[in-house]
Structure 1
Amino acid sequence: MTTTTKMLPDELTLRLAAALNGTGPTVTLNAPFTGEPLVTLRTSTAADVAAAFSRARGAQEAWGATPPKVRAEVFIKYHDKVLRNDELIDLVQAENGKSRSSAFEETLDVAGLALYYGRTAPGCLAPRKRKGALPMATRATERRRPKGVAAVISPFNYPLSLGVCDAIPALLAGNAVVHKPDTQTAMTALRARELMVEAGLPEGLWQIVVGEPDVIGQSLIDGADHVCFTGSTQAGRRVAASAAQRLISSTLELGGKNPMIVLEDANLNSAAKGAARACFSTAGQLCLSIERVYVHESVYDTFLDKLVAHTAKLKLGSGLNFGYDIGTLSSQRQLDKAVAHVSDAVAAGAKTEIGGRVRPDIGPYFYEPTVLTGVTSEMAVYREETFGPVVSVYSFTDDADAITKANDSEFGLNASVWSKNVGRARRVGERLQVGTVNINEGYGSAYASNDAPMGGMKASGLGRRHGEQGLLEYCELQTVASQHVIGFDPPPGISAAKNATLLTWIYKFMKGMRIK
């Protein structure tokens, strides 16, 4: 194993690479900032994945029997370790190519979720008394049990947030985890796991494997009791189908073509500044990124000028520092898609208001933040997710028109509405076919509200992250009900007909007393 860049210490990269138990071919990863080799890793085989599940199951039984309050202590400690660890931010930047501010946001996300679930999970997982079939005679209890071993498949774009924040509720619910991060960002996952073991997590509970989906993807589903996947809609459909064949559950966060609506009474400067961040943070490689902006026709020109002005202020850059706003796209594939969408649109008559240029003078995958106007439905950028720093701006006539246009997509992940009248903005937001709506913010308000569920509608996914629902995705709900004094069989000496009359009277009584 070799490293040829000084972006990260050799000791760190070699230690993390050695932590993988793979027996497959080696792969050399390149730093997106420079295109230079970063680290060489040994990939996993299907047999390695099966062995990882075996180790995870061996550790899960004792962990699942550990009281939730004791399990939670690990995650309270983890909160502090993540916040104190600059190495995590370095790794996210080195492997992904995003700005330091965006990488820092990931550490806040992980620390915040660890603390939230560390404090709330014991209460959420406690047995619940439920109303029984017959008052006094039936005592029902709901128990929330771990499913067993969860497979977590996480992407390259938010390697810390989207991997660790799915592992945390799975583990806290009493499960073990077999985690396949994107190979490009495997070191971030390995260091995050290392810190959690330091916080007290038993080593066998969080297994990490790396490899291409066509090599180990089916093995991950075959060994799992639940699958959590974040990625493209196309891949998510395959994961859901494979999980359904095994009759196991899945949670999926998939693609998005997220709209922003700017009403005529919005603070246009704030909206334009918020749009620039929501569109171009992490070079647009965020599932929640805004890719469509709809502006009331009366303020369209003013807003567009302000958006272009705010976009022009964004500084492209690289390196492990806070000296710039926007980093690089993470790969040639991501760059090619951004270039193709803009080139296709311009060739068909769209206008580039700003940006639209590759910047090899900064690094191999840099692309300028780009604002398009005049985009029409026959252009690929109109409906397809770009997943890059490209946004199209449109006008609308009234609220109904804005809602119709925003909902005109197969996706339904995130949306943003801007208005000085928050009540009006909420009413508009409630009519949007999306899982999260942010008022006077692009994506952070809803996503960072850890007590509220987060996920997609339509082709943007199944299930939810965050909140109690995000924890229950990893639980089997079991009802234990005991019967006392009287049952459902006729008492001695009572005919079936008389028993039916008695039960009918009891049910009418319960209705009158509002017991049910």
Structure 2
Amino acid sequence: MAGNPSLAHFKIPLTENEPMRSYPLGSDDRAKLKQALDEMIAQGPQEVPVVINGEKIYTGNVAKQLNPSKHASAVCQYHQADAALTQKAIDGAMAAQAKWEALPFNERIAVFLKAADLLAHKYRYKTMAATMLGQGKNIWQAEIDAAAELCDFWRFNCKYAEEIYQQQPPKNSVGTWNRVEYRALEGFVLAVSPFNFTAIGGNLPSAPAVMGNVVLWKPSPSAVWSNYIVYEILVEAGMPPGVIQFVPGDAEQVCSTALADPRFASLHFTGSTKVFRKLWADVGQNINKYNAYPRLVGETGGKNFHLLHPDLDSNAVRHAALQTIRGAFEYQGQKCSACSRCYVPKSLYPEFKKQIVAEHAKITQGPVWEFNHFTGPVINKFAFDKIKSYVDHAAADSNCTIIAGGKYDDSVGYFVQPTIVETTDPLTKTMTEEIFGPVVTVYAYDDDKFDETCALIGDTTEYALTGAYFATNREHIVHGTNLLRKFAGNFYVNDKCTGAVVGQQPFGGGKGSGTNDKAGSWTLLLRFINMRTIKENFVPIDEFIYPSNLV
């Protein structure tokens, strides 16, 4: 049977970051986004099926994704896959694998390049509206996530794949030709995505698929609606049935079924450290079942820091305070990179406190359809109760003082006011435990204990995701950067600890924060391929004896 011809070495279009739009008052962008929001609200809850082999399946076992700004309403009700449907999805994906992997590279990546253009134009406002209503993001947070970052993931993954395929052995002996091919894994990938970034939802199944893999995509219950729109964009862009199976459902049934299958080849995960470790342990228990050693790729939690050096002047202190407001409170602190602890020298603390409290007073909070608010709701009741417990702890702890915020209200939506805690104990609960909400704790350290404070930052938590260091003198910058090297996979100098951009800052952390495979880089794609080395000989040998055997 004839295969697909490869008739040229194609080059993908120039890859650039998707231009971000600012949605100013009176702009066409703002009007179109408002229209998309209004239409989505008027339509009421949407119905989301399980999709296996291109077939939309309505199981009748439904759950709701609530609107966190107004939890009496839902953005969608989604049908859930059980163990049997998960197994069907696995079998269907494996049936689609050979044909998908065999497509010429240019035909495969055309799907993702087209998807990026569809998202950037035709579906930009719809995807943003679903992210705003379903996940509680304001306009800017939805723009940088559901529009720009997901476009970037799709386009840059194609660029990185092209570069990987070009890596070939530099030497060939006379009469031979050496080459390497990069084939898909021998099995399927399970992608388990989080609620907090629509872009991560799209990237987790897409990155393996770019390299020829087939994927089961289990979206977060709190992001099903936006993730389904992303899935439909991929289908419209030409994704063949079975390549990515969309399987919302009970995490235990979906994951346990997938991990028990001998053809399980990889886990691509973003979520909590606890869940990732549980899945890793489950893989270990099943290791003798598998056809190959599974690749486990995970980005999990963080307890991210800002550190100020004593050499800052008043303008630099104000800059650090502003960056801390953004790093701690954008998207209600629900970024795995969000600033959760801040270390300020005692000599600068009065000025820092003055600045950050004054700036905090400017923060407004409300539902996402009121465009003026800097912060919105946290994602759900579980998150609200957890974050509330940390605020209550800080209010009751004699070593802590709430210097701004501290209020919460879940009567209509899940609203927790951005909260700044001052502590005299660098190991207090809010400094050591991941909160994943709009709470930052500030500790004032002795100016002459900078080195000890750097060590304290590393010893305080198990995480090593992001961190930011504010200093002026170059020698001080170098010194602090060296001391903090192992405490953050993404490290920022004189900038906030959030906001990694695909193609600019590959993202991921080590220690308890994950496998540090760096989403948004070529290194991530390497996790989803098997290399085969091919040596072809052109010249026959005359005999088997080597000259060294002759006497």
For normalisation by structure 1, the TM-score amounts to 0.87
Q: Output the CA distance in 2 between the equivalents of 1:202 and 1:12.
A: 30
Which residue, 424, 442, 445 being the options, matches 2:496? Answer: 442
C-alpha distance 189-428 of structure 1, shift in aligned 2 (>3 A): same
Tell me the amino acid that sits aligned with residue 46 of structure 1.
A
Which residue, 19, 32, 37 being the options, matches 2:73? Answer: 37
Tell me the amino acid that sits aligned with residue 523 of structure 2.
Q
C-alpha distance 126-492 of structure 1, shift in aligned 2 (>3 A): closer
Tell me the amino acid that sits aligned with residue 164 of structure 2.
C
Residue 201 (structure 2) pairs with residue 163 (structure 1): yes
1:339: Cα distance to partner?
Answer: 1.4
CA contact (8 A) 2:451 2:483 kept: no
1:184 alignment partner, SS class: coil
Aligned-residue CA RMSD (Å): 2.7
Q: Which residue of 2 aligns with 1:410?
A: 462
Q: Output the CA distance in 2 between the equivalents of 1:422 and 1:76.
A: 42
Tell me the amino acid that sits aligned with residue 326 of structure 1.
T
The unaligned stretches of length 5 or more in structure 2 are: 1-36
Q: Which residue of 2 aligns with 1:352?
A: 402
Deviates more, 1:98-107 or 1:118-127: 118-127
Tell me the amino acid that sits aligned with residue 456 of structure 1.
G
Q: Which residue of 1 aligns with 2:511?
A: 458
Residue 73 (structure 2) pairs with residue 23 (structure 1): no
Tell me the amino acid that sits aligned with residue 494 of structure 2.
N
1:117: Cα distance to partner?
Answer: 2.0
1:486: Cα distance to partner?
Answer: 11
1:112: Cα distance to partner?
Answer: 1.5
Q: Deviations over 1:474-512 (max 9, x none)?
A: 11122334578799x9725754xx89xxxxxxxxxxxxx
Residue 301 (structure 2) pairs with residue 249 (structure 1): no
Residue 418 (structure 2) pairs with residue 369 (structure 1): yes
Q: How many residues align?
A: 487
Q: Deviations over 1:172-191 (max 9, x none)?
A: 11112211011121111110
Q: How do 1:314-329 and structure 2 match up within 5 A?
A: 314-320=363-369, 322-329=371-378
Q: How do 1:120-131 and structure 2 match up within 5 A?
A: 120-126=160-166, 128-129=168-169
C-alpha distance 321-171 of structure 1, shift in aligned 2 (>3 A): farther
2:257 alignment partner, SS class: helix
1:113: Cα distance to partner?
Answer: 1.8
2:444 alignment partner, SS class: strand
Q: Output the CA distance in 2 between the equivalents of 1:236 and 1:169.
A: 19
Q: Output the CA distance in 1 between the equivalents of 2:39 and 2:195.
A: 18
Q: Deviations over 1:56-109 (max 9, x none)?
A: 222222221112222222222222221222011111111112222211111211
Q: Deviations over 1:288-339 (max 9, x none)?
A: 0010111122211211221122222111011335321101011111111111
Q: How do 1:233-244 and structure 2 match up within 5 A?
A: 233-244=273-284
CA contact (8 A) 1:49 1:219 kept: yes
Q: Output the CA distance in 2 between the equivalents of 1:25 and 1:230.
A: 25
Q: Output the CA distance in 2 between the equivalents of 1:205 and 1:424.
A: 51
Residue 266 (structure 2) pairs with residue 226 (structure 1): yes
For normalisation by structure 2, the TM-score amounts to 0.82
Q: Which residue of 2 aligns with 1:150?
A: 189
Q: Output the CA distance in 2 between the equivalents of 1:7 and 1:394.
A: 46
Q: How do 1:418-497 and structure 2 match up within 5 A?
A: 418-421=470-473, 424-425=476-477, 427-432=479-484, 433=486, 434-444=488-498, 447-450=500-503, 452-464=505-517, 465-481=519-535, 491=545, 494-495=548-549
1:127: Cα distance to partner?
Answer: 5.2
Q: How do 1:264-413 and structure 2 match up within 5 A?
A: 264-266=310-312, 267-320=316-369, 322-349=371-398, 350-360=400-410, 363-374=412-423, 376=425, 379-396=428-445, 397=447, 398-408=449-459, 409-413=461-465
Q: Output the CA distance in 2 between the equivalents of 1:422 and 1:196.
A: 47
Tell me the amino acid that sits aligned with residue 306 of structure 2.
M
Q: Output the CA distance in 1 between the equivalents of 2:431 and 2:299.
A: 21
What percentage of aligned pairs have identical amino acids? 24
Tell me the amino acid that sits aligned with residue 364 of structure 2.
K
1:371: Cα distance to partner?
Answer: 0.5
